[in-house]
Structure 1
């Protein structure tokens, strides 16, 4: 009982923090910088109290994170000095454009794309797919080169362009221990690599191997996030974020998703909340 109370209190605290960000988001650069991370953390935390994402508040949290993820790159695509109207939380916000920024980077782009896949936001996915990779590189953030190949893979796939296979191979090759220099290899192999190989199985349209790869991804996710006490309390471990995004893509293509897991909230996977929020 005490543990349940602690979890609920923690989620309530995160919700309060998100509300605080929105109170300041139009006038505070700091609030805008932290908005995506805060709302994504809250969305994942909601799945601790609502593992199947069966409550509207959970869907609302995921949609809010998605809207902020897209807004970050829409604002960056325009030079500083103007404002852009962004719809977030069923409200229109006038936010200042930013141009390139340290937080407008490839890692956050991948998160934004995953969120848009989970929320089935095709128009926003198209806009994200048109974000120049050069803009992401201008952030100055340091990543292993694989991530830019992964971005190119997803962008070219979504836009129906040539070169998907070549960039996918480069992304897979770039996750190996001989190529990756910056990411922790355990994190790379357990968390960053699985969505890429899942996407490969998706492209091959092999339902059986896709499900096998999904089982592996969820097992690696659990092993990674349960390996230490510090990891066990990290909200990133509550949802297999990347695998969920690719599984949503496969689900909508008619793949039979044979895996049930607390790391794949069912209502998110099946898009059970379709049409409930005017995004």
Structure 2
């Protein structure tokens, strides 16, 4: 039986569609400006994510081509963030918004860190862009460490797990166990407990079921992840109104891996836009 997890009501307002269109126009302008200077690419990435979520407010199944374009743009800018910060001289060629662009190198930016790496990787998984997944997984873990101690140690274990899985390196099981142990609420010191339990940990648990090929356990774990996501984003009025709760990006990415691995997905939810999960737009235009 397919379980349903209803997305909480997100205030759309009378001009939700116009808002999404304005964001899309703003993102396009910021992408164009990157060819002159890529120093603000992290802001372009944040804008592209906001545009994606705005599209999912008005198009929860991702049935419109504009939503797929917003997803691809966010993925491309996220990957470009790590490409231009990986070198300090010369230029880097990146395809963004249907165009191959030559972006100037930026060198290290503090925002090219493990948190944004996870977001960029989730987007590459959702878009099924294996080349970008590989490029992201080849980034040395030390380069993703935040000098300000912004993240708990389990985050770096988690990145290591994903890189190990995708690049088929040895030690996946031991690294996953270390990640689970390091993400225990009694050990974590930086992330607030409700954020950890509602948003940050569920993708790790889902991945555990995925790599074990646990067909019986995956969908219940996915439903639980979405319920926790919903509980976190409906705790108070400010969170209910926050567009960041529109989609469950991490669980969606793991569900995409499971879907492509032929694990049945017996959960329906607008937190998991259907046509992103089932790769309905794949191949419609170059990514």
Whether the TM-score (by the shorter chain) exceeds 0.5 is yes
Asked if 1 retains the 8 angstrom alpha-carbon contact of 2:252 and 2:277, the reply is yes
> What is aligned with 2:176?
168
Q: Are positions 1:40 and 2:40 aligned together?
A: no
Higher helix share: 1
Asked if 2 retains the 8 angstrom alpha-carbon contact of 1:175 and 1:189, the reply is no
Deviation at 1:6? 3.0
> What is aligned with 1:128?
136
Candidates 47, 57, 72, aligned match of 2:81 = 72
**What is the rounded CA distance, in whole Å, between the counterparts of 2:171 and 2:145 in structure 1?**
20
Candidates 80, 101, 107, aligned match of 1:99 = 107
How does the TM-score come out when normalised to structure 2? 0.92
> What is aligned with 2:26?
17
How does the TM-score come out when normalised to structure 1? 0.95
When residues 3 and 90 of structure 1 are mapped into structure 2, their CA distance, relative to the original with a 3 A threshold, is closer
Asked if 2 retains the 8 angstrom alpha-carbon contact of 1:221 and 1:240, the reply is yes
**Gaps in structure 1 of 5+ consecutive residues:** none
Q: 5 Å matches for 1:1-279?
A: 3=12, 5-29=14-38, 31-78=40-87, 80-137=88-145, 140=148, 142-279=150-287
Asked if 2 retains the 8 angstrom alpha-carbon contact of 1:118 and 1:268, the reply is yes
Deviation at 1:226? 1.1
Asked if 2 retains the 8 angstrom alpha-carbon contact of 1:24 and 1:31, the reply is no
Deviation at 1:27? 2.5
Deviation at 1:3? 4.9
**What is the rounded CA distance, in whole Å, between the counterparts of 1:239 and 1:157 in structure 2?**
24
**Gaps in structure 2 of 5+ consecutive residues:** 1-10
> What is aligned with 2:3?
none
Per-residue CA distance 1:58-115 (angstroms, 9 max, x = gap): 000000111111111122222x121111111111211111232101100000011100
Equivalent residues, number: 277
The alignment's C-alpha RMSD in Å is 1.6
Secondary structure, aligned partner of 1:248 = helix
Asked if 2 retains the 8 angstrom alpha-carbon contact of 1:81 and 1:98, the reply is yes
Asked if 2 retains the 8 angstrom alpha-carbon contact of 1:100 and 1:138, the reply is no
User: Whose RCO is larger (CA < 8 A, sep 6+)?
Assistant: 2
Secondary structure, aligned partner of 1:142 = coil
